[in-house]
Structure 1
Amino acid sequence: MSAVANGLGWAALGLAAFPALLGTLNLRRLRRPRGTPPGPSLVSILIPARDEAAHIETCVRAALASEDVAVEVLVMDDGSQDDTAAIVRGLMKRDRRLRLLQAPPLPPGWTGKVHACARLSEAARGTHLLFIDADVRLAPHAAAALAAHAEDHEIALVTGVPRQEIGSLGEALTVPAINLMMLGYLPGGGRAGSSRASLAAACGQLILVQAPAYAAVGGHAAGPSVLHDGLALARRLRAGGFRTEVVDGAPLARCRMYRSFREGWEGFLKNAREGMATPLGLPVWTVLLGGAHLLPWLLLPFTALALPALLLSLGLRAAITWRTREPWWTVPLHPATVAVALGIQWSALLGGWLGRRPAWKGRAYGPAGPAT
């Protein structure tokens, strides 16, 4: 038993050291946008909204409060059954920079958010298009800083993960996986130094793209059926010869994605089959994540090698939590968060085999069957 435990301990230590080293490099290189864009710029802040009455007013007010760059704010009401449109109409009476659009019926083969974003881009007049979700609250300097970063560094797409507001146990078991995966496991962390489309990354909550580059690759309309819209757009731009970059989004915006474990599970489940949940990829990810963040806890009574592996795992999570300004009380839940993330991915993969289709906000997407 001792030899087996020591062998597994060395494996766990190696698997924990890899993301700890990669995460350290990514955190050191993560840039923070600042400044104002040179020359005349107009940032079109584009907000797809479907049944967002609880969030839309604070989202729009924050967008209209943008400083140091001219903005227009466009909201696409995508078949809402609540007061989303009425709230926006009320705000339009106070600010002429705000426009409300009504989404046409969803065409076959399109996903809802991608369709709304494509139609928003057609109506936008800006030099830069800033796509945000309705539950995002922009900081006053965010639009200017993102546009300045794009112009100063000649980057077509600039994206970041907003500061994630976490108020319940269910959120703490799901939401922190975003920054763990992007900063701990993506070589380069989405920096513009790499031109490889496979290493592109984006957070759909906060994406600024230069309008000419967006048009050159066909925008959202070039991938009408995707659910992971931000990632698909970043990869498409890199494939077209443009640069994309993930920056520090915590100072730029805040967002409370979900309010419960069920919302978090369903929200991440819908995108899983376009990411990790593939027949070839998920077993590898299970070894990488489980071996680094779960196995050390199981080995703790049997080998001394488990302790340094565990410290590397928790140290990485603590460093990411500090930099991204997530709540500290979520750090001790880290192994459970990883276990839930793997549970979501396996549920998505097995659900595909059983004929379940991804669904969100009353819409089911894509064909049944396994991801490829």
Structure 2
Amino acid sequence: MILAAWIALGLAGLYAGLTLINLALFRVPGAVSDGAPRRAVSLLIPARDEGARIGATLDAALASRDIELEIIVLDDDSSDDTPDQVSALAARDARVRLITGAPLPAGLNGKQHACAQLATAARHDTLVFIDADVHLAPDALARATAWLHGRGLGLASGFPSQPTDTWGETLLVPMIPVLLLGYLPLGLARLMPRAPSLAAGCGQLMLVTRAAYTAAGGHAAIATRMHDGLNLPANARRAGHATDLFNAAGLARCRMYDGFESAWRGFSKDATEGMATPPALPVWTLLLAGGHLWPFVVLIAALFTASIQALGVAAPAVVLLAVARIAVARATGQRALAVALHPAAVVATLALQWQALIAARRGRARTWRGRTYTP
């Protein structure tokens, strides 16, 4: 049992150590100093049946300050009143423009096709892509844009806070920063800012210079892929442009899903472009099960068998895991319930990834936003 305890401590320590290092680097961009240049930004929003959300998203964006702003919304064949709402707002505020998306060609991803058209329509050389359910703080664009240009980056991606109202959301959604901060060596990614293997991002909020976007091939180059948050930064790095990540908690928020079922379907749709691949998923299973579940198993076994040696090793493993998990929750604005549900969240995440991999190997199509995508 002592060997099992040391394995638990090693894997939990790996997660905790990298998390705490990354949290020191994963910061919210600072306030813009007085006299800083007022930059011009094209805020680009693909929208498909977003009538329940688009109004609040645009109101928040229009409250942006210290930035020269144009907002372009692409209506992607909505069946609700999305275009009517945007048109009404555009009639009152010249900063808003509505364009109608071209029909989606067979085999392409709807969001990537929409974003490619938005980039073509943009007037400015700093492009900011957000999802239609992302609410920006008034200073978000100015701070994020200053961070992008101040660091000489081609692309920067922020991770908004993710409010969750239901148990199902709270089980799955908070795992995003857990995985990011626990297993991406952010320091190494910054030392090697053009290495594609260290690229990461969040499709909810991405800033990119036109030069980097063009060099990377834009969304047209990933038009058959589902995960823009991984693929666009990787292509930017391949094209020789540096990319980086920042904590957007407090600058932006996004309620991704409204329950367990929608969260499961949403994360499943692009899982095979991330964790759920035959080479990667066994490794992820070892890291997550071994580092986040095994310490509890060994601790309980040590208590039942009164193994003092094993208990002395397993207990620190659980403490390290808890400290790191609480630190992530505090930094990203997660509910305390997310921390309490963490072991169950790890089980659910692994189940989702294995289900997605098996479904893909069997050739099952994925349905999202009323469209069907074949693997």
Counterpart Cα distance in 1 of 2:361 and 2:369: 22
Count, aligned residues? 363
Counterpart Cα distance in 2 of 1:180 and 1:155: 25
Counterpart Cα distance in 1 of 2:292 and 2:109: 34
In structure 2, the partner of 1:156 is 154
Superposition pairs of residues 67-216 of structure 1, within 5 angstroms: 67-188=65-186, 191-195=189-193, 196-216=195-215
Q: More helix per residue: 1 or 2?
A: 2
Does the CA contact (< 8 Å) of 2:28 and 2:249 recur in 1? no
Unaligned runs of 5+ in 2: 303-310
Distance apart, 1:176 and its partner CA:
0.7
1:113-155 deviations in whole A, cap 9, x for unaligned? 0000000000001121110001100011111111111111101
Superposition pairs of residues 1-372 of structure 1, within 5 angstroms: 5-34=1-30, 35=32, 38-39=36-37, 41-188=39-186, 191-195=189-193, 196-303=195-302, 304=311, 305-367=313-375
Against the structure 1 CA distance between its residues 189 and 348, is the aligned structure 2 distance closer, same or farther, given a 3 Å change threshold? farther
Distance apart, 1:8 and its partner CA:
1.5
Bigger mean CA offset, 5-14 vs 155-164: 5-14
1:193-227 deviations in whole A, cap 9, x for unaligned? 32311111100001011112111221111111111
Counterpart Cα distance in 2 of 1:39 and 1:324: 29
User: Normalization by structure 2: what TM-score?
Assistant: 0.94
Secondary structure of 2:270's match? helix
Against the structure 1 CA distance between its residues 189 and 334, is the aligned structure 2 distance closer, same or farther, given a 3 Å change threshold? farther
Against the structure 1 CA distance between its residues 365 and 177, is the aligned structure 2 distance closer, same or farther, given a 3 Å change threshold? same
1:211-261 deviations in whole A, cap 9, x for unaligned? 121112211111111111121110011111111110111021011001100
Coordinate RMSD, CA, aligned: 1.5
Secondary structure of 1:161's match? strand
Counterpart Cα distance in 2 of 1:326 and 1:209: 27
Bigger mean CA offset, 38-47 vs 157-166: 38-47
Secondary structure of 1:273's match? helix
Secondary structure of 1:278's match? coil
Distance apart, 1:41 and its partner CA:
2.5
Distance apart, 1:40 and its partner CA:
5.4
Does the CA contact (< 8 Å) of 1:190 and 1:246 recur in 2? no
1:279-323 deviations in whole A, cap 9, x for unaligned? 111011001000111112222222213322222222111000001
Counterpart Cα distance in 2 of 1:40 and 1:308: 50
Counterpart Cα distance in 2 of 1:178 and 1:224: 23
Does the CA contact (< 8 Å) of 1:276 and 1:282 recur in 2? yes
Secondary structure of 1:209's match? strand
- Percent of aligned positions with the same letter in both sequences? 47
Secondary structure of 1:173's match? helix
Unaligned runs of 5+ in 1: 368-372
User: Normalization by structure 1: what TM-score?
Assistant: 0.94
Counterpart Cα distance in 2 of 1:165 and 1:32: 17
Secondary structure of 1:54's match? coil
Counterpart Cα distance in 2 of 1:220 and 1:9: 47
